[in-house]
Chain A
Amino acid sequence: MNVRVKALGPLAEKISDNGDAVVLPDTSTLGDLLGMLGIAPSDVMLAFVDGALAVPSTPLRPGCRVYLSPFICGG
C-alpha cells in the first residue's frame, strides 16, 4: 500500500521525498514504517495517522497520511 509521510526537522532528512508516498506491505503498522525509514521510535516525539495521535502499533491503511514530529522540547 501507499502512505504519505511528512516529517518535521531532523526526521525529514530520513525521508527522500518528504510529503510524498511511501510503499509498504499491506497490514503494516506505524512501527513498521519507522523501521523501513530507519527512524528509531525514540527519535519521534509525536506521530499522527490521518491527524489522530498514533503509537508504533497503530495500523496503517492505504492512502493514509502519516505525520512525524521529532523530540524538540525540554524542561
Chain B
Amino acid sequence: MPFGYNGKILVVNLSEGTWTTDEHDETWYRTYWGGGALASWYMHKLIPPGCDPLGPENVLVFATSVLCGAPLSGFSRLTAAAKSPLSGGFGESEAGGYLGPELKHAGFDAVVFTGVSPKPVYLYINKGAVELRDAGKFWGMENAPLHDALKEELGEAKIRVASIGPAGENLVRYACIVNEFIHVNGRCGMGAVMGSKKVKALVCLGDENSVAFADPEAVKELNKWHRKAISEHMPNVNLGKNGTPMHVMTLQNNGMLPTRNWKEGVFEGAEAIGLPGYEKILKGRHTCYKCSVACKRVVNNTSDERYGGPEFETLGAFGSMCGVGVLDDVSKAHERSNALGLDTVSAGGVVAFAMELAEEGIIDTSDVKGFGDGPGMIALLEKIARREGIGDILAEGSALAAKKIGRGAEKFVCAVKGQEPGYHDPRGKTGVGMGFALSPTGADHIEAPHEVAFQGDAVNLVKPIGVLTPPKPLETDIDKVRFFVEGQKTWAMNNTLSICNYVVRPIFAMTYDKLVDTVRAITGWQTSLYELMLAAERSIVLARMFNVREGLGRDDDRLFERMHKPMPSGPLQGRFIDEQAFRTSLDLYYEMMNWDENGVPRRGKLHSLNLGWLAA
C-alpha cells in the first residue's frame, strides 16, 4: 500500500470521451515524485515532437505529488503542464489553493487530458467516480459565475474547481487556469491548451482521510512544529502581515521595479500601488489548504471580493509596467484578469508593450493610448480576452504580436522564449536574469531564489545546499553561477514535491532537515536532501530535454535587449548586464550541469538521473 499517494493517474481521452487509470510502481513514483517531473514523463511519452500546442496532439497534465494534500502549510501546489503555446516548448505552471489536495483526496495523483473533446465538457471526479459532463451551457462564462453554476448543477457546496474563462476558450496564448477565484496556474498559457481541448473545468470532491501516511503521528508533530516556526520566523510573519504587495517598495527603493515596459526601474506611483496605498484597500487575508502563512489578500475596491486583491507581480504588471499609479485601476485589471482567465504577468507585459507601441506611433492610438491610461488598460484586457480588434493580435503574446504588427515593433518586445517575465529587473540581481534566460518555460522570476537575500550572514541559509559564498547581486561571476545551479534545484525541488516556496528554506520556516523528516513521515521512504535534490535536477533535465526535441537551444537562452542597456535613472542608474559576460555565465552553467556546449544534457548526465530512456 502506498503512503502519501494514491498510485493512480487518470488518463482522459477527450476525443473518445473515455478514460483509463495508469498505475505505476513505487520506483516510478520515487523517480518522478510529482509536479513538473511527473508531468514531463507523460509529455515526453504522449506528445509527438513538433505538434501544435493548441492542436489535438498536445497533452494537458494536472499533477500533484507524493506529498500534496498532506496536512501541512504549503503542501498544496497543483501543477498544470503541456507544450506551451507561448514558447513552443516546455510549459509548466504551479498554483496554490485547494484543487491540488482535493484532486488527491478524490483518488488520483494526476489527470492527463489527451485529444480534443468534440463539444465543451468538464471533468467531475467525485471520490474516485469519474464523469465527463456537458459544459455547453457554461461555455463563455467567467470564472466566478461558472463556479457558482457548477455548485448549483452538482448540488455540492464543497466541490473545488479549476476553470478557464473566455480567454482560455478564445485561445489567448497566455490564458490561465483559475482555481477558487484567486489561485492561478498563470504562466505558459495552460488555459489556452485547456480551451483548445474544450475542457471548461476540472471539478473535484474528495475525502480528506483517503490518503494514508507512513507515520501519521510524526506528520502531526511536524505540522505542529511547522506552524509554530511560521508564527515566529520573520519572513513568514511579515509575509502574513503584509502579503506580497510589500515587495513594491523594496524593489522601488533598490531601483529595480520594472517601469513602463522595462524602460526604468523607479516608478513615481510606487507608494500608491505599494503597501502605503494597499493598506487603505485591505479588507482581510486569505490562505491555501491548511496553510497558516495566509499571504493572500482580500480588498475592498473590487466588484466581487472573491477574486481577492492583486499580488506583487500583478501590481508590477498593471501598475509600474503600464505606468498606472491608480490602485483602483490596478485592482480592477486584476479582477477582470481572474474573471476572464488571463495571466496577469503576461497580460501586463503585453499591455505595456502595446502602450509603448502607441507612444512610438507604431499602432493606432484609438486602440490603446500610452503609459498611464488605466481605463484604457482595462478595456484592452477585455478586447484581448475576446480577441476583438487589436486584442486579437495582442492575444498572441508580445513576441508573436510584434511579428504580425511589424514596423519595428520587435524592438519593444521584452520576453524570453515568447514569455513575458515577472517584475524584477535583473540589472539589480543578475541571478534573476539567469532565471529569465535559462528557465525551460521562458522568462520566469521564480526559477531560483533571488540572490540578494543571501548576503552577509544570510549565506548560512544556503550552506546546506552547498553554497558557501554570498553571490554578489550585480556580478555575473563563478559564484553567481554556482549559486544559481543549486538555487534552481532547491526551487525545482519545491515544484516537484508540490510545496510552496513560502513555507520552506532557503528563506522560509521549514528547514531542510525538517523537510526530509516530513517526506519520510509521509512516504515511509528513508530519503535524504541529496535524493530530493537529485529529483529536482531530474525535473530540470526532463524539461530541458523536452525543449531540445522541440528545437529550442542555446540561442533561445538569452535576455531581451533592454537588459543590456544602461538603466536611465534611480539607484541602478548606468547599470546594465554585459551581454558577453552574461553569455559566458550561461555557458558555465551548462558546464556545471554537465550539459554540452549547445546546452544539451550529456548522455552520462541522463543515465546518472535514471533518464537513460531520453539518451539518443
A residues sitting closer than 8 Å to B (CB atoms) are 6, 8-10, 41-42, 44-48, 51-53, 55-57, 65, 67, 69-75
A35 to B26, CA, bound (A): 53
Interface status of B246 (Cβ within 8 A of chain A):
yes
Q: Report the minimal beta-carbon distance from A64 to chain B, rounded to whole angstroms.
A: 12
Interface status of B49 (Cβ within 8 A of chain A):
no
Q: How large is the interface on B (under 10, 10 to 19, 20 to 34, 35 or more residues)?
A: 35 or more
A67 to B242, CA, bound (A): 22
- Whether A46 and B453, one on each chain, are in contact in the complex, defined by CB atoms closer than 8 angstroms, is yes
Known pairs A44-B234, A45-B238, A45-B507; A71 contacts B250 (CB<8 A): yes
Known pairs A41-B238, A46-B461, A55-B232; A75 contacts B250 (CB<8 A): no
* Closest A residue, CB atoms, query B251: A74
Interface status of B126 (Cβ within 8 A of chain A):
no
Known pairs A46-B458, A69-B458, A70-B250; A75 contacts B312 (CB<8 A): yes
Interface status of B558 (Cβ within 8 A of chain A):
no
- Whether B458 and A42, one on each chain, are in contact in the complex, defined by CB atoms closer than 8 angstroms, is no
Q: Which residues does chain B contribute within 8 Å of A74, judged by CB atoms?
A: 244, 247, 250-251, 312-313, 422-424, 445, 450
Interface status of B460 (Cβ within 8 A of chain A):
yes
Q: Report the minimal beta-carbon distance from B158 to chain A, rounded to whole angstroms.
A: 30
- Whether B235 and A46, one on each chain, are in contact in the complex, defined by CB atoms closer than 8 angstroms, is yes
Q: Report the minimal beta-carbon distance from B251 to chain A, rounded to whole angstroms.
A: 7
* Closest B residue, CB atoms, query A71: B250
Q: Which residues does chain A contribute within 8 Å of B446, judged by CB atoms?
A: 75
Known pairs A45-B507, A75-B501; A67 contacts B458 (CB<8 A): yes
Q: Which residues does chain B contribute within 8 Å of A47, judged by CB atoms?
A: 234
Q: Which residues does chain A contribute within 8 Å of B455, judged by CB atoms?
A: 8, 69
Contacts A53-B461, A71-B247 given; 11 further ones with Cβ under 8 A? Answer: A10-B250, A45-B507, A51-B460, A55-B232, A67-B456, A69-B458, A72-B450, A72-B453, A73-B450, A74-B251, A74-B312
Q: Report the minimal beta-carbon distance from B455 to chain A, rounded to whole angstroms.
A: 5
A67 to B454, CA, bound (A): 12
* Closest B residue, CB atoms, query A51: B457
- Whether A46 and B250, one on each chain, are in contact in the complex, defined by CB atoms closer than 8 angstroms, is no
- Whether B445 and A75, one on each chain, are in contact in the complex, defined by CB atoms closer than 8 angstroms, is yes
* Closest B residue, CB atoms, query A47: B234
Q: Which residues does chain B contribute within 8 Å of A53, judged by CB atoms?
A: 233, 460-461
- Whether B238 and A73, one on each chain, are in contact in the complex, defined by CB atoms closer than 8 angstroms, is no
Of the candidates A46, A48, A57, the one whose C-beta lies within 8 Å of that of B507 is A46
Q: Which residues does chain B contribute within 8 Å of A52, judged by CB atoms?
A: 460
* Closest A residue, CB atoms, query B454: A69
> CB-defined interface of B550-579 with A at 8 Å, one 1/0 digit per residue?
000000000000000000000000000000
A57 to B234, CA, bound (A): 11
- Whether B456 and A41, one on each chain, are in contact in the complex, defined by CB atoms closer than 8 angstroms, is no
